[in-house]
Structure 1
Amino acid sequence: MIEIRRFASLGRAEHGWLSARHHFAFGHYREAGRMGWGRIRVWNDDAIAPGTGFDPHPHREMEIVTYVREGAISHRDNLGNQGRTEAGDVQVMSAGTGITHAEYNLEPVTTTLFQIWITPDQRGQPPRWGSRAFPREAGAGFVALASGREAEAGGDALPLNADAAVLAAKLAAGGAATASVAAGRMAYLVVARGSVTLNGERLDERDAAAIAGAETLSLVAGGEGAELVLVETAPEG
């Protein structure tokens, strides 16, 4: 089963400094059938004005992945971690038993990003944060950015305390990629940039596809190329 979810259908919130679109229930946005997908609880598509951001606030028992589309985000937390994650790169914060963090756009331009929350497999784990740059070459297929799956353990992927993987692909114009979703698994695909056809169905920039069951995903980029983010998870725990 593949359900296409157009960008125009997402929930929205406008806060002046922050323009947000919600793939799933968040804040005041509630819609039946969009309360999550597998272990994914939140997928926010945020635009953060220059010189603004999220002041220090706490989290517990959640895996929070940030994928930067444009600009950069600067992180600081009460564990002493700090860093700058720029477009195309990813940061992972495992909130565990508790962490307080701030995320600011210190750039002269608007920063756009995906903020993805995934429920952890085990509660009571120590909090941690990490960030990593990833290759930007087109045509390499899907690359694991963060993962709790054994197959990616010890590789370049940032660790997740969840039965899930965050993958990304960059395709040149007309370039192709494939991915498989195993029986009993779920996946959520969002076009970060450009456009693709997914099994013959066109998805434009920031459109999404919710995928369940055994599916082979065949993707072909449009004339401007495409950048894709795919999260594959176990069903809801």
Structure 2
Amino acid sequence: MIERRPFNSLGGANHGWLDAKHHFSFASYHDPARMGWGALRVWNDDTIAANTGFPPHPHSDMEIITYVRDGAITHQDNLGNKGRTEAGDVQVMSAGTGIQHAEYNLEPDTTRIFQIWIIPDARGGAPTWGSKPFPKGERSGRFVTLASGIAGDEDALPIRAQARVLGLTLAAGESAEYSFDGTRFGYLVPAKGAIEVNGIRLEARDGAAIRNEGAITVKALEDAEVVLVDSAP
């Protein structure tokens, strides 16, 4: 089962400095049919104006993955961590028992991100933050694991959930496959470019909720950049 969720069907709010679209219920947007997908709870498509951002605010008991699509995001938190994550790269924050952080676009141009929240396997634990570059050339034509809590994915940024966040870039006409354990949930969004997933067409920023599929084949109709979450139920 693959359910296409068109970009224009997403909830959201435009705050001026932030234009946010929500694949799942978030903040003032509530849809009882879109409360999450397996352990995936939030997928926000955020457009952040230059020299603005999210001021300090707290989180706990959530794995928060930020995938930068355009521009860069600058992180700082009450643990003393600071870092700048550029387009194509990823940062992960395990909120654990509690963390306060800010995320700013200090760039002269607009920054666009996917912010993905995954429910951890267990509550608590010391909060952590990290980021890592993932050159697009290394995931050209194949899925590369960007963040994971699954054994064997040691090259990825660690999260505290039985889930993977994967990235893929394809040139027009290329395709790539990904296999699922039958009990798991997949959610896929093309950050850029039109694609087909098992024959179902998705435009850029559409979502695809995937269940009971042993494998998917992603075909690029245009040059494309794709993000996939594979999560436990």
TM-score by length of 1: 0.96
The separation in 1 between residues aligned to 2:183 and 2:136, in whole angstroms, is 31
How many Å separate the matches in 2 of 1:201 and 1:127? Answer: 39
Distance (whole Å) between structure 2 residues aligned to residue 68 and residue 134 of structure 1: 11
- For 1:196, the aligned partner's letter is I
User: Are 1:193 and 2:192 counterparts?
Assistant: yes
* Structure 1 residue 215, shift from structure 2 partner: 2.9
**Partners of 1:122 and 1:31 in 2: CA distance:** 26
The answer to whether the 8 A contact 2:141-2:175 is kept is: no
Residue 12 of structure 1 deviates from its aligned partner by 1.3
Equivalent residue, structure 1, for 2:225 = 227
- 1:67 deviates by 0.2
Alpha-carbon contact 1:166-1:230 (below 8 Å) kept: yes
Identical columns (%): 60
**Pairing 1:134–2:134 present:** yes
Whether contact under 8 Å (1:146, 1:166) holds in the other structure is yes
Deviation at 1:135, TM superposition (A): 2.0
Correspondence for 2:170? 171
Structure 2 distance, partners of 1:37, 1:73, is 26
1:118 Cα deviation from its structure 2 partner: 0.4
Determine if contact 1:181/1:212 at 8 Å carries over to the other structure.
no
Q: Is the 8 A contact 2:187 2:228 kept in 1?
A: yes
1:48-82 deviation per Cα after TM superposition (whole angstroms, max 9, x unaligned): 00010000001000000000000000000000100
Q: How far off is 1:101 after superposition?
A: 0.3
Secondary structure at the counterpart of residue 167 of structure 1:
strand
5+ residue gaps, structure 1, are none
Alignment map for 1:116-135 (pairs within 5 Å): 116-135=116-135
Q: Which amino acid aligns with 1:100?
A: Q
Corresponding residue for 1:115? 115
Q: Name the CA distance, whole Å, in 1 between partners of 2:88 and 2:97.
A: 29
Counterpart code for 1:231: V
Cα RMSD (Å) of the superposition?
Answer: 0.9
Aligned to 1:13: 13
The answer to whether the aligner puts 1:217 opposite 2:216 as a matched pair is yes
In 2, the alpha carbon distance for the partners of 1:175 and 1:214 equals: 21
Mapping for residues 69-80 of structure 1, pairs under 5 Å: 69-80=69-80
Can you give the 5+ residue segments of structure 2 that lack an aligned partner in the other structure? Answer: none
Query: What TM-score do you get using the length of structure 2 for normalisation?
Result: 0.98
Q: Partners of 1:150 and 1:134 in 2: how far apart?
A: 20
Contact kept in structure 2, 1:40 and 1:117, CA below 8 Å:
yes
